[in-house]
A and B are shown apart, each in its own frame.
Chain A
Amino acid sequence: MIDTCITAYCVINDNKIVINGETYFKDNESQDFNEFIKAAYRFSNINYLKFFKMDRLCKLGFVVADLLIKQTAILEKYDSKNISIVFSNRASSLDTDREHQQSINDRNNYFPSPSVFVYTLPNIVTGEISIRHKIYGENIFFISNQFDEKLLYNYINTLFSSSSTDCCIAGWIDIDKNSYKAIIYIIEKSTNNSKDIIFDTENLKKLYIKN
């Protein structure tokens, strides 16, 4: 088996962003997710106008990925064809599905919109991140009842052993009604850095629960 490590991780939960265990941004004022994620976007100096068109799931994943990609400089290190993205969640795109459903509930007030409908798939966030950073690697989106460290671990291992993955952006991005949580890990072949965390199910789960 190939020796792989979690070289960085980032969490967004409860109006707070944590990178590698340290609080990066905390917002006690925002009343809801939309206000919070906009504040986080501004704080992080992300300059990308398409951000404002995205749905909530995409905004959540986009900010986490942007911070991690800057932090780890993986784009400079690897061929962008060999950076894979493996995401998972429980609610799929239900957050936007409900919005699309609202627009067609009444035949007398019928306004399905392509700009909403396109976000009724969970993997659009993978597309948004890929477009932003020009990442051409493998993609998959899993739906599971809860964070499934065994599935992520097993699948990601098969990617690394297939020789066309050098680095993996992986994790959980979920938004449903009033709750949200994202945790994304950067997994690379061991870099011999003392801060590297061994990539195994125990560490995946531990970091997920702790944050």
Chain B
Amino acid sequence: MKDVFVISENIITSLGFDTEENVNNIKNYKTGICKLDKSDFWTEPFFVSLINTERLNQEFSNISEGKEYTRFEKLCILSASKALKNTPIDVKSKETIFIISTTKGNIDLLKNSQDFEEDRVYIDKAASIISSFFNNPNTPIVVSNACISGVLAINTAKRLISAGLYKNAVVVGGDIITEFVVSGFQSFKSLSFGPCKPFDVSRDGLSMGEGASTIILSSETKSNIRVLEGASANDANHISGPSKTGEGLYIAIEKSLKNSKIDATEIDYISAHGTATPYNDEMEAIAIGRAGLLNSFVNSYKGYFGHTLGAAGLAESVLAIYSLKNNFLFASLGFENKGVSEDLKVIEKHKEVKLNKILKIASGFGGCNASIIFDKI
């Protein structure tokens, strides 16, 4: 089994178009979640985190030669292109694979195909357009597994590289805000009445966000951040509600720890899913408690740029890796008073802490849960 390293990354959210810009805004406790009074996304005002379209188009025009791309494709291509910059990765090689994580891809084309061919709404088509932009010779792998897609995609890349099937993976996650998704979450009554407040006693739902994020993994190019084992598990409980015992998430964490051959006490920090729905955060707290991780610091990035669906696992891992490299933890924005039954160490203020091993977790519809561990060497 080959060691796998994180060699480059990028995040595009409402808070910025690269990791540094996102980090600077996060350091200033800034949120990109704003009230949208009138939009095509929903019949009434609501809170959402949106990427600036003008800037997206302007930055995209610097890398593309005029071919037409959808908003989703532009975000993914721009993110991957920024992450690839200054890396020695040969994207034209058979040994480099693109792995795309998304829940809905070009779903906005279902209402209005905007002059794009009809099959562009199929995710495999969008994915091949993204990897073809870079002239990658392989068929891209697409992971579409609700809100755990991003963590699963990193883990898939890790496993395939570890097994020697590829030397490099460009893992790109993205999702955009659409009427399709907003109306669906509204019908569930799961959106918050202000910027979301993960783990807080007054949390009342999630804030949606759009984003794209990329992590490049490699076995031939090394760095000081190694990817240890990931895992996934199902709650076998309910398709739209998390398990009351945190069963699936607990199993996923246990498997990650066991297969990485490390003890729960070695995990310094957990980047939680923390959607700020009452049930999700409580479920995570229970699973974290059961796994013996109550001494690890915890935060959620959802208060900064919302729930970015297929990008979430990637963007949040990029920030967690930033923390790991810099021994610097970010506050969980929106958190004031603990609102879960376990005594979680939710981070209230940014702080310097020595970090060696960190855990990223995620959960989603369909009862799915995933986890992965990053290690500083």
Chain A residues at the B interface, C-beta cutoff of 8 Å = 80-81, 85, 90-92, 94, 97-98, 100-101, 104-105, 107, 110, 112-114, 117-118, 120-124, 126-128, 130-131, 133-145, 148, 151, 154-155, 157-159, 161-164
Nearest A residue to B237 by beta-carbon distance? Answer: A131
Question: Does A90 contact B124, Cβ atoms closer than 8 Å?
Answer: yes
Residues of chain B lying within 8 A (CB to CB) of residue A137: 233-234
Chain B residues at the A interface, C-beta cutoff of 8 Å = 43, 103-105, 107, 110-111, 121-125, 127-128, 139, 141-146, 152, 156, 159-160, 162-163, 165, 179-180, 183-188, 229, 231-240, 247-248, 251, 255, 258-259, 364-368
Question: Does A142 contact B231, Cβ atoms closer than 8 Å?
Answer: no
Given contacts A101-B110, A127-B239, contact A138 B232 (CB under 8 A): yes
The answer for the CA separation of A22 and B107 in the assembled complex, in Å, is 39
Most chain A CB within a 10 A radius of its CB, from B107, B162, B247: B107
Question: Does A140 contact B232, Cβ atoms closer than 8 Å?
Answer: yes
Question: Does B368 contact A164, Cβ atoms closer than 8 Å?
Answer: no
Residues of chain B lying within 8 A (CB to CB) of residue A136: 233-236, 247-248, 251
Question: Does B239 contact A131, Cβ atoms closer than 8 Å?
Answer: yes
A interface secondary structure, majority: mixed
Question: Does A123 contact B145, Cβ atoms closer than 8 Å?
Answer: yes
B243 CB to closest chain A CB, in angstroms? 10
Our count of residue pairs bridging A and B at CB distance below 8 angstroms stands at 168
Question: Does B234 contact A127, Cβ atoms closer than 8 Å?
Answer: yes
A170 CB to closest chain B CB, in angstroms? 14
Question: Does A124 contact B259, Cβ atoms closer than 8 Å?
Answer: no
Question: Does B366 contact A124, Cβ atoms closer than 8 Å?
Answer: yes
Residues of chain B lying within 8 A (CB to CB) of residue A158: 159-160, 162-163
Apart from the given pairs A117-B188, A120-B184, A155-B160, 5 other A-B contacts in the complex at a CB distance below 8 Å = A121-B144, A123-B365, A127-B366, A137-B233, A139-B232
Residue pairs across A and B with Cβ atoms less than 8 A apart, 29 shown, are A81-B233, A85-B234, A92-B105, A92-B123, A92-B144, A104-B180, A112-B187, A114-B188, A117-B184, A117-B185, A117-B187, A121-B144, A124-B366, A126-B145, A126-B366, A127-B366, A127-B368, A130-B235, A130-B236, A137-B234, A139-B232, A140-B143, A140-B145, A143-B143, A143-B144, A144-B141, A145-B124, A155-B156, A161-B163
Question: Does A101 contact B180, Cβ atoms closer than 8 Å?
Answer: yes
Nearest A residue to B103 by beta-carbon distance? Answer: A121
Question: Does B159 contact A155, Cβ atoms closer than 8 Å?
Answer: yes
The answer for the CA separation of A137 and B255 in the assembled complex, in Å, is 10
Given contacts A154-B165, A155-B156, A157-B163, contact A138 B144 (CB under 8 A): no
Residues of chain A lying within 8 A (CB to CB) of residue B107: 97
A102 CB to closest chain B CB, in angstroms? 10
Question: Does A140 contact B122, Cβ atoms closer than 8 Å?
Answer: no
The answer for the CA separation of A101 and B110 in the assembled complex, in Å, is 7
The answer for the CA separation of A128 and B43 in the assembled complex, in Å, is 32
Question: Does B144 contact A122, Cβ atoms closer than 8 Å?
Answer: yes
A153 CB to closest chain B CB, in angstroms? 10
Residues of chain A lying within 8 A (CB to CB) of residue B366: 121, 123-124, 126-127, 139
Question: Does A164 contact B43, Cβ atoms closer than 8 Å?
Answer: no
Residues of chain A lying within 8 A (CB to CB) of residue B110: 94, 97-98, 101
The answer for the CA separation of A204 and B245 in the assembled complex, in Å, is 37
Residues of chain A lying within 8 A (CB to CB) of residue B165: 154
Question: Does A100 contact B144, Cβ atoms closer than 8 Å?
Answer: no
Residues of chain B lying within 8 A (CB to CB) of residue A107: 43
Question: Does B103 contact A114, Cβ atoms closer than 8 Å?
Answer: no
Residues of chain B lying within 8 A (CB to CB) of residue A94: 110, 121-122
The 4 closest A-B pairs by CB, nearest first: A127-B366, A117-B184, A158-B159, A130-B234
The answer for the CA separation of A134 and B123 in the assembled complex, in Å, is 30
Residues of chain B lying within 8 A (CB to CB) of residue A134: 236
User: A123 touches which one: B179, B180, B368 (CB < 8 A)?
Assistant: B368
Given contacts A101-B180, A121-B365, A131-B238, contact A164 B255 (CB under 8 A): yes
Question: Does B144 contact A141, Cβ atoms closer than 8 Å?
Answer: yes
Question: Does B183 contact A112, Cβ atoms closer than 8 Å?
Answer: yes
Residues of chain A lying within 8 A (CB to CB) of residue B367: 127, 130-131
Residues of chain A lying within 8 A (CB to CB) of residue B365: 118, 121, 123-124, 127
